[in-house]
Amino acid sequence: MEMMEDVVIVGAGIAGVATAVALKRVGVRALVLERSEGLRATGAALTLFPNAWLALDALGVSQAHPHLCSYNDTGFLHVGDGHGIRTIHRKALLEALAEELPVDSIQFSSKLAVIENEEQGGASIVVIHLEDGTTIKSKVLIGCDGGELGGGTLARTGRTSPFRAVCCARELYWFLTYNGDNMAGDPEQIQKQVLEKYAEKFPSSYLDVVRHADISTLTWAPLKFRQPWGIIFGKLSKGNVTVAGDAMHPMTPDLGQGGGSSLEDAVVLGRHIGNSVINNGGLIVPGDMAKAIDDYVKERRWRAAFLITGSYLAGWVQLGGGKWWMKFLRDGIFYKYLLGRISGLVHKDCGKLPAVSFGDMDHSSKKD
């Protein structure tokens, strides 16, 4: 089977679905390919900072899903300028984003196998081969697969993070990061190791949370990140192909910015592609699209590099132990001079999507 699409997005995680929503808002239909059978949310909860809420506003998701975005005392930690820091269910966010898309926008059980390039009438077309033998030709490809499409090598942090939500009368979410990558695979063993080894000295109320965790969903993963210079100097796009979310900038979870920056990517990419489409009367013009993608990469590169560096440093000093020089670095330098600056990163407003007059759009809007 062979299909033709304007835009294909690989991966229906936060980055992929949010990017499809951003494109829909600017009148561009995207097909999202997801290898799983349904929406899948690794981990239980997600803490979203003001930058993430501002991106959700720009995507129109806050307005359409007030229950997701309303303040309540379970997830609410702090309010600054009207956008606080709140923790929500990952799945609820993914579902809210997916609800904004036309039916059939997400094609499940569709695993990308190989990508090729083809010239058609002087324009470069991406040929996508799926594992089931389907071939899709697309004018634009956005890799939101969480890692593999980003290219380059990922660095190991030497740290691991098991994470889980516990369900009692209320829901509690915890995760623990530690130095080392020798965690057992079996959930019961993970729980035992956390209680007896890694969190042994924690207050008993913390350990009770781990003890009462629903261990059937306890998972762990070695933490990886892309080195900041790989982002600053690396190739993050090629013609009409680019990456977003963890595929572009995997980072450690110490600032809780992986998901939020994926939402920012979606808005920025949507804005550049939207402007290109608007300027071309609703058409996706491959040459112009390559420029739009290049502008997106330029806008995101330094921001992603700062977030990766800030997250890594925050984790490094917190897990650095009690040696005198580490205490000096942590208390005398990091907390005193750097934390304030790094925390400022989570207030970034990634901007808005361009307003589109759908009457002026050509083929893109008709597909909706």
Ligand X SMILES: Cc1cc2nc3c(=O)[nH]c(=O)nc-3n(C[C@H](O)[C@H](O)[C@H](O)COP(=O)(O)OP(=O)(O)OC[C@H]3O[C@@H](n4cnc5c(N)ncnc54)[C@H](O)[C@@H]3O)c2cc1C
Q: Contact residues for ligand X (CB under 6 A)?
A: 10-16, 33-36, 40, 42-43, 46-47, 111-112, 144-146, 161, 163, 175, 221, 245-247, 253, 256-260, 262
Rank residues 35 and 91 by Cβ distance to ligand X and give the closer one.
35
Decide: helix, strand or coil at residue 175.
strand
The answer to whether 198 touches 187, Cβ cutoff 8 Å, is: no
Rank residues 240 and 311 by Cβ distance to ligand X and give the closer one.
311
Decide: helix, strand or coil at residue 331.
helix
Q: Nearest approach, Cβ of 45 to ligand X (angstroms)?
A: 7
Q: Nearest approach, Cβ of 86 to ligand X (angstroms)?
A: 10
Give 157's Cβ-side CA count (13 Å radius): 28
Nearest C-alpha neighbor of 263 from the set 3, 68, 27: 68
Q: Nearest approach, Cβ of 106 to ligand X (angstroms)?
A: 10
Q: Rg of the chain over CA atoms, in angstroms?
A: 21
Rank residues 109 and 357 by Cβ distance to ligand X and give the closer one.
109
C-alpha pair distances (Å), 226 with each of 12, 189, 296: 21, 30, 18
DSSP state of 169: S
Spatial separation of the C-alpha atoms in residues 168 and 171, rounded to whole Å: 6
Spatial separation of the C-alpha atoms in residues 85 and 71, rounded to whole Å: 10
Q: Nearest approach, Cβ of 161 to ligand X (angstroms)?
A: 4
Rank residues 166 and 361 by Cβ distance to ligand X and give the closer one.
166
Rank residues 46 and 126 by Cβ distance to ligand X and give the closer one.
46
Rank residues 14 and 141 by Cβ distance to ligand X and give the closer one.
14
Rank residues 35 and 192 by Cβ distance to ligand X and give the closer one.
35
CA 165-307-221 angle, to 5 degrees, is: 40
Q: Nearest approach, Cβ of 121 to ligand X (angstroms)?
A: 28
Q: Nearest approach, Cβ of 253 to ligand X (angstroms)?
A: 4
C-alpha pair distances (Å), 74 with each of 65, 77, 173, 212: 18, 8, 11, 19
Q: Nearest approach, Cβ of 130 to ligand X (angstroms)?
A: 8
